[in-house]
Structure 1
Amino acid sequence: MSWPSHDADTRSWIPRHRQGSRADRALTEIEVSIPPRIADLPYAPSGPVARAHEDAVIAVARLEAGYGQHLAPLADFLLRSESVASSKIEHIDAGWRAFGTAVAGGKASEEARSQLAAVRTLAALVTAAAEGPITLDSILEAHRLLMAPDFYTAQDSGSLRTVQNWIGGSDYTPIDALFVPPPPELVAELMDDLIAFVGRIDLPILAQAAIAHAQFESIHPFTDGNGRIGRALISAVLRRRGLTQRVTVPLASAMLADTGRYFSQLNGYRKGLVDEFIEYVAVATIHSCEAAQESARALADLPAQWSARAKPRANSADESVLAALLDTPIFNADRAQKITGTTEASVYRALGRLTEVGILEVLSENKRNRIWAATDVLAELDGLSAAIGKRTTHNR
């Protein structure tokens, strides 16, 4: 289907600092990309794109109906998987153990805190979308949450950029950049246009989410965090339109599997190749949902496996911990004591036994805040991302 490409405009460039190469210092003009206004544009997929779109919507509905409504822990599991994969696209990867330590409130690395902030960001944006229209304020609040762990980026968080940014090329100027977004004076207007677009209900749902993401990345409204907020916007649109009620489609793992193709597809959108981008997102959705269903089945089988391995006594602390592991796979001693309702000594003995048989793993040995995690759940988180990546690269 016909879709307008981005325009290009030449703007004056006045460097803020006399840094970089001779070419950086001599730069006086840059070419910026100007996204089209899309608030009122029609879109209807046809042919192979329409079939892929329909198959993707069915895959999401099947995941939601088959597991989202009957396996409550799947919601948190998929939310964390999507957020961590989205962070990895930005080269932020603390590893699951460090991330788990951050989840339980332990002393964590900067990368682990950033990944946890991405989880909270996605949760907040999706929750806001479930409760009402997606607004600029909800996106700005999501950005504040995402940037909160870093003192320096937090100072500029929650507000649209007032400077020119760019992707790739020099650290000092947009020379040789891969993409130069629109100038800052156009950002507010373009974001208003995008908010109007995501508020429509006359568009195919997944297509609307895909276009919203590509348009957001093209506007690049923040100085940092655009990729993670833009990918979270996909989930927010799906929730706002009612396609999802509990689950989060772990699309970022498909994008992570081949980031070169992902960025190439975004560039294609900027050339007006909207059908290709929507088909890309639709196929990624199908692979993600199929792999998520396999993870859901594996998670559902874990409690019986744990009981067979640990053989807990009826009404024991061990049994109480096992019963809560899918809902709370990462926890500290205080949380375990609340779950079991027993003494501290009894809790530590139970945790020791479950660790000895390999059901739990100690993530942090800090005496003040020791942290445990369900080994099988952590393994399944890694397994889901790998399974999506394998499907993505095998079927492209």
Structure 2
Amino acid sequence: MSWNWQQPDWPEFRYDAAVLTSIEERFLVSSGKILGTVQHVNPVERDQFRIDLLSDEAMKTSAIEGEILDRRSVQSSLRRQFGLTPDAYPTKPREQGVAEMMVDVYSTYAEPLTHETLYRWHDMLLSHDRHLETVGAYRQHADAMQIVSGRLDRPTVHFEAPPSGQVPSEMDSYAVWFNKTAPGGSEPLPPLTRAGLSHLYFESIHPFEDGNGRLGRALAEKALAQSIGQPSLIALAFTIERERKVYYDQLERHQKTLDVTPWLEWFAATVLTAQTVTLDRVGFFIGKAHFYDQHRDKFNERQAKGIARMFREGPEGFKGGLSAENYISLTGTSRATATRDLQDLTEMGALRRTGERRYTRYWLNLEN
């Protein structure tokens, strides 16, 4: 089997640009909507929105690789990185590392890509990992860099990257390509085309001992931010994680060919979905601000705790809605008191109620 990097015309990816024209236009329109809508969020809420979105992205980009992070630790680390007042929750090395990388990607998006950029991100992300031979530099081991699954004695090889000795020259070419295809570069590409190619190209080189998926998605974010002139603030990793198997299938399929139109179509559609998710979240934050303006001084301590916990679940809320049992567990109160509290919240318009008896559920009553 021949991998894409073994083919004679590597890395000349082939694709039908005409197929992507309309979706590229939709991306730019949606980007304008997001940036315009964010302006309606007050500065304090905007900081929290940024923290919540980046923490979700940090959580999901790690979850794609099977790594589960502590959300509160990630958020605490992000607040420190942005110079905001930190909470008392302790930060952990793994969470602090991914938070540092996310903020660096966010704040340096306009800078050209260099080897040092990638080394810095890798060091931030994996300096805590004592099992890696090389951190903050490209891999150097002599063994083949393979993505495998299955039994140890009969593994299935999904992909094999270029040998370590070839990586420096491959990454020289990659950095040159990334910078010349940027807006203002000598060979600029449309936003989604460039972001999709940047991710596939990087993953095909797989230059680091570990962390390639997370860095590759960070590069796609950098490419998108450069195309619109500011951090994109889209839920890309969040959206990819929901289609994790399809994502890996698409990568595997297109690491065996240089004909990548289907990959670019899939990636572009995923970005548009991520933009929709982000618009929903901006609406959620605006709704949250209006909600507290209307109800802030009306809650007792138990109700305030329950409402705050519901907001932490995000736009989707509690799966299946908040039940009386959920409320009792959250507040530590009796069933009779929970019933009164929930009825009071419904009557004041803070919650809406669906179902009857044991199927009764409560939802945040937000303005559209």
TM-score by structure 1 length? 0.65
Contact 1:53-1:206 at 8 Å conserved across structures = yes
Q: Who is 2:250 aligned against?
A: 265
Q: Who is 2:36 aligned against?
A: 65
Q: C-alpha displacement at 1:358, in angstroms?
A: 2.8
Distance 1:65 1:357, change over 3 A: same
Q: How does 1:131-210 map to 2 (within 5 A)?
A: 132-153=111-132, 156-163=134-141, 164-169=144-149, 176-200=156-180, 201=185, 202-210=188-196
Q: Who is 2:208 aligned against?
A: 222
Task: Determine the C-alpha separation between the residues in 1 that align with 2:300 and 2:98.
Answer: 30
- How many positions carry a matched residue from both structures? 296
Q: Who is 1:255 aligned against?
A: 240
Q: Who is 1:84 aligned against?
A: 59
Give ranges in structure 2 of 5+ residues lacking alignment. 79-86, 319-368
Q: C-alpha displacement at 1:294, in angstroms?
A: 1.3
SS at 2:207's partner residue?
Answer: coil
Task: Determine the C-alpha separation between the residues in 2 that align with 1:261 and 1:172.
Answer: 24
Q: Who is 2:98 aligned against?
A: 118
Q: Who is 2:284 aligned against?
A: 298
Q: Who is 1:357 aligned against?
A: 303
**Partner residue of 2:312 out of 356, 371, 378:** 378
Distance 1:149 1:203, change over 3 A: same
Task: Determine the C-alpha separation between the residues in 2 that align with 1:59 and 1:257.
Answer: 21
Task: Determine the C-alpha separation between the residues in 2 that align with 1:309 and 1:58.
Answer: 35
Superposed CA deviations along residues 48-98 of structure 1, whole A, max 9, x for unmatched, are x22222212322232123226855333333222222111110111235356
Indicate yes or no: 2:224 matched with 1:245. Answer: no
Contact 2:158-2:252 at 8 Å conserved across structures = no
Contact 1:88-1:256 at 8 Å conserved across structures = yes
The aligned amino acid for 2:67 is: I
Contact 1:42-1:203 at 8 Å conserved across structures = no
Distance 1:64 1:43, change over 3 A: farther
Task: Determine the C-alpha separation between the residues in 2 that align with 1:5 and 1:68.
Answer: 46
TM-score by structure 2 length? 0.70
Superposed CA deviations along residues 273-311 of structure 1, whole A, max 9, x for unmatched, are 321111111111111111211111111121332344441
Task: Determine the C-alpha separation between the residues in 1 that align with 2:41 and 2:76.
Answer: 28
Q: Which has the higher contact order (CA 8 A, sep 6+)?
A: 1
Task: Determine the C-alpha separation between the residues in 1 that align with 2:51 and 2:203.
Answer: 26
The aligned amino acid for 1:139 is: L
Distance 1:174 1:220, change over 3 A: farther
Q: C-alpha displacement at 1:196, in angstroms?
A: 0.9
Q: C-alpha displacement at 1:375, in angstroms?
A: 3.0
Contact 2:147-2:158 at 8 Å conserved across structures = yes
Q: Who is 1:46 aligned against?
A: 18
The aligned amino acid for 1:161 is: R
Distance 1:158 1:105, change over 3 A: farther
SS at 2:108's partner residue?
Answer: helix
Give the root-mean-square deviation of aligned CA atoms. Answer: 3.3
Indicate yes or no: 2:4 matched with 1:6. Answer: yes
Contact 1:249-1:288 at 8 Å conserved across structures = yes
Task: Determine the C-alpha separation between the residues in 1 that align with 2:37 and 2:293.
Answer: 24
Task: Determine the C-alpha separation between the residues in 2 that align with 1:102 and 1:298.
Answer: 23
SS at 2:234's partner residue?
Answer: coil
